[in-house]
Amino acid sequence: MRKKQLTYIFLFFLFSVFLFTGCAHRPVAPSQTVSEDMQSDQNRQSATTETGQIPSDPDIIEDKSDEDFFEEEFEEAKVEVADPLSPWNRAMFHFNDKLYFWAVKPLARGYKAVAPEFFRTGVKNFFRNITTPIRLVNCILQAKGKAATVEFSRFIVNTTIGVLGFGSPADKYPKLAPPDTEDLGQTLGNYGLGNGFYLVWPIFGPSTLRDSIGRVGDFFLDPVSYVEPTEASMGIRAFDMVNNTSFRIGDYESLKKSAIDPYTALRNVYLQVRENKIKE
């Protein structure tokens, strides 16, 4: 009960701040489509300019003669979101950075060394399968009937034939290819709600006021949220995070190494990816 009360208080606080700030968001011109996985977008966009900004197409930086064209294109694709809490955000960025290098990465490397890939893939499939309600409900809210049907069909196939989702036999059928991941933050954006302002949360990482509100809503759609006691739920989420990180060791390092200002680079990547997902 205490966990639910704290969640309601947190949601009320975020909503109140959201109304107070007036949803500061600047519209942007259409930009190139991104894939479902945000991490793959970070890989494709890890090259940065001298200002620490990330180009929308890494191939552009290979052609030095097109530098002016690149600057013009990136300026059009750039997503502008207010960052009034920059001191807090930078402090949380550095906290998460240390947490990754001092705890998450060592755990993920050790876990990867002892857990075979088929086991880690099965765990990844399982967690994706049980979080189907988040994607399914948001597909319905966005009137994406085909995507909702695919999500529901994949859940049935993977839960039964795939043995509780550890396997993903639905991938063998082209018509059941996984649709783009949907969440409440994207749904709110689809209905015209602006980003509000940029936020970085400890552990959870980059977000915006709108996406933070969306995360609270998605919390109630996630079956893991109802696991008792709370410590067990937190442990399950931590295990999921370590398992996912074991597939992406080195990606964050590459982004950070290539950026003059890693904070700005990660912010630009996050905002651009989220903007593209809303437009899909």
Which pLDDT belongs to residue 280? 78
The phi and psi torsions of 57 (rounded to 5 degrees) equal -140, 110
Q: How many domains does the chain have?
A: 1
Query: Average pLDDT of each block of 10 consecutive residues along the chain (280 residues)?
Result: 49 44 38 39 42 38 40 55 96 97 97 97 98 98 97 98 97 95 96 96 96 97 96 96 96 92 95 92
In a domain, 199, yes or no: yes
Which pLDDT belongs to residue 64? 40
Which pLDDT belongs to residue 6? 46
In a domain, 35, yes or no: no
Tell me the residue type at 186. Answer: Q
Which pLDDT belongs to residue 4? 53
In a domain, 73, yes or no: no
pTM: 0.73
The residue among 119, 124, 143, 102 whose CA lies nearest residue 37 is: 124
The residue among 97, 187, 84 whose CA lies nearest residue 144 is: 187
CA distance 53 to 78: 9
In a domain, 194, yes or no: yes
In a domain, 267, yes or no: no
Which pLDDT belongs to residue 77? 58
Per-residue DSSP letters for 203-267? TTEEEEHHHHHHHHHHHTT-GGGG-SSHHHHHHHHHHHHHHHHTT-TTHHHHHHHH-SSHHHHHH
In a domain, 215, yes or no: yes
Domain that holds residue 101: 2-30+79-249
In a domain, 52, yes or no: no
In a domain, 177, yes or no: yes
